[in-house]
Amino acid sequence: MDQIKSYYLSSGISEQVYDLFAEAEEQLSERFRTIDQIAEINQLKVLRAMQEAGFAEAHLSGTTGYGYNDDGRDALEKIYAKVFRTEDALVRQQITCGTHALAVALAGNLRPGDEIFSPVGRVYDTLEGVIGVRETPGSLAEFGITFSKCDLKADGSFDYDAIRAGINEHTKIIEIQRSKGYDVRPSLSVAEIGELIAFCHGIKEDLIILVDNCYGEFVDVIEPSEVGADLVVGSLIKNPGGGLAPIGGYICGKKAYVEQAAYRLTTPGLGKEVGASLGVTRQLAQGLFFAPTVTAAAEKGAILAAYVYEKLGFVAVPTADEARNDIIQAVTFGKPELIKAFCEGIQAAAPVDSFVTPVPWAMPGYDSEVIMAAGAFVSGASIELSADAPMKEPYAVYFQGGLTYPHAKYGIMMSLQKMVEKGLVMC
């Protein structure tokens, strides 16, 4: 493998960094094999869904205008419903991001006087504006919809007593965020989510259980919708888009709840009947087809990052040997200069804008400056190699993505290389 090593050395990686990563890959070979097996099962699941939906070449053509009788769009939504084992699905490029998908699902199924309850602590930063936790024009709070939460216990487990006390006659939707977001708590497994759903439904049977599934799709062989979730919601420029979807989001779940969301996305009375595909069905469908193996590549990169930075003395969540429930890897560095060097390395390894130096900025929807590294083919695509961090204590960086494992590996190597060159880390 001297030829591979020489390529890395000629690409700016020092011999010490290369050797550290070579040792890491040897130690992680069994973990990687398990991830490949999960990807294989999910690949077959997606393939079978496409076949059962009768997906045809004719479906790859797009429509314009109102989008009436868009067979390709409708076929893709049948595929998503089959993959996620749900009654119905709304999969549209008119959904601009994951937060938009969540906003549509929430607003479509809530009415004045209803309450959203989070049993897993604070919601993701951008969703705070949607709900009205952070005062924002047009928030759900302005329409008389309230929000409450209870935090996880110190060990990351559910506080069932607090959940029981928090659910009341006004509680309509239980919002469960699968991924850690900008917290250093563990992300939730599908099994844990299933236990939580059963508990909540046991308290109040008519609750709508909504799972923010962003970053978690295809990490396991089952999804939250298979353990009782009434709605699962996510972004197409994360896992399920496979790096090919240029925009979009999905809402899968019970038919009545998906229909309400569709009325909110378009207009009451029209719902899913309108919304031209504009020629992107091919990219959305092919991206879904690639999604299981692309997600596996991102997972391997996350585990590699955890292993290397733990070995250097930093705290990784999850650790390299813990089970993974999403593609996000948090590493707490404790110092802003380490975060900046990490992000510089990720950016330098990008196929797009590798010459750019990322700097912190006041990103809309966040309560502190955020530094982001993302040289992506699709702007902001978190399934592509990227990293971001709020510039505040505990100065943790959140690393995710990698359309291929070799690219994810190179990005992590370059992140460490930048730290070494600045004299911030010894290896």
Report, as an integer, the average pLDDT of 48-72.
Answer: 96
- SS3 assignment, position 399: strand
Tell me, what's the pLDDT at 56?
A: 98
Cβ-in-10-Å burial (0-12, 13-18, 19+) of 236 comes to: buried
Does 182 have pLDDT greater than 90?
no
Report, as an integer, the average pLDDT of 57-77.
Answer: 96
Least confident range from 111-120, 151-160, 405-414: namely: 151-160
Tell me, what's the pLDDT at 364?
A: 75
Least confident range from 42-46, 181-185, 387-391: namely: 181-185
Cβ-in-10-Å burial (0-12, 13-18, 19+) of 354 comes to: exposed
17 pLDDT band, cuts 50/70/90, is very high
CB proximity list for 181: less than 8 A, separation 6 or greater: 122, 123, 124, 125
Q: What percent of the chain has pLDDT over 70?
A: 99
Find tokens 């955020």 and name the residue. Answer: 370
Does 124 have pLDDT greater than 90?
no
Does 322 have pLDDT greater than 70?
yes
Give dist(CA 298, CA 126) in Å, integer: 23
363 pLDDT band, cuts 50/70/90, is confident
Domain ranges within the chain, ordered by starting residue: 2-42+292-421, 53-288
pLDDT tens track for 328-337: 999 999 999 9
Tell me, what's the pLDDT at 179?
A: 94
Give dist(CA 26, CA 30) in Å, integer: 9
Give dist(CA 182, CA 194) in Å, integer: 23
Report, as an integer, the average pLDDT of 48-67.
Answer: 97
Does 367 have pLDDT greater than 80?
no
365 pLDDT band, cuts 50/70/90, is low
Report, as an integer, the average pLDDT of 379-391.
Answer: 94
Residue type, 50: M
Give dist(CA 386, CA 89) in Å, integer: 28
Report, as an integer, the average pLDDT of 305-322.
Answer: 96
Architecture of domain 53-288: 3-Layer(aba) Sandwich (3.40)
Q: What is the overall mean pLDDT for the chain? A: 96
- SS3 assignment, position 361: strand
Q: Tell me the CA distances in angstroms from 197 to 190, 202, 213, one per residue in order.
A: 10, 8, 14
Tell me, what's the pLDDT at 335?
A: 96
Angle at 218 between CA 331 and CA 201, to 5 degrees: 95
Q: What percent of the chain has pLDDT over 90?
A: 93
Tell me, what's the pLDDT at 183?
A: 75
Does 96 have pLDDT greater than 90?
yes
Q: Do domains 2-42+292-421 and 53-288 have the same CATH topology?
A: no
Model pTM score = 0.95
DSSP state of 123: P
Does 278 have pLDDT greater than 80?
yes
Instruction: List 333's β-bridge partners, or say none.
Output: none
- SS3 assignment, position 80: helix
Report, as an integer, the average pLDDT of 387-406.
Answer: 94
13-18 long-range contacts (CB < 8 A, ≥24 apart) are 13/410, 13/413, 13/414, 13/417, 14/417, 14/420, 16/420, 16/427, 17/413, 17/416, 17/417, 17/420, 17/427, 18/413
Q: Which two tokens stand for residue 242?
A: 């496979």
Report, as an integer, the average pLDDT of 355-372.
Answer: 87
pLDDT tens track for 183-194: 778 899 999 999
Does 1 have pLDDT greater than 70?
no
- SS3 assignment, position 359: coil
2 pLDDT band, cuts 50/70/90, is confident
pLDDT tens track for 201-258: 999 999 999 999 999 999 999 999 999 999 999 999 999 999 999 999 999 999 999 9
362 pLDDT band, cuts 50/70/90, is confident
Please give the residue that has the higher pLDDT: either 163 or 155. Answer: 163
Report, as an integer, the average pLDDT of 252-272.
Answer: 98
Tell me, what's the pLDDT at 186?
A: 86
Which CATH number describes the domain made up of 2-42+292-421?
Answer: 3.90.1150.60
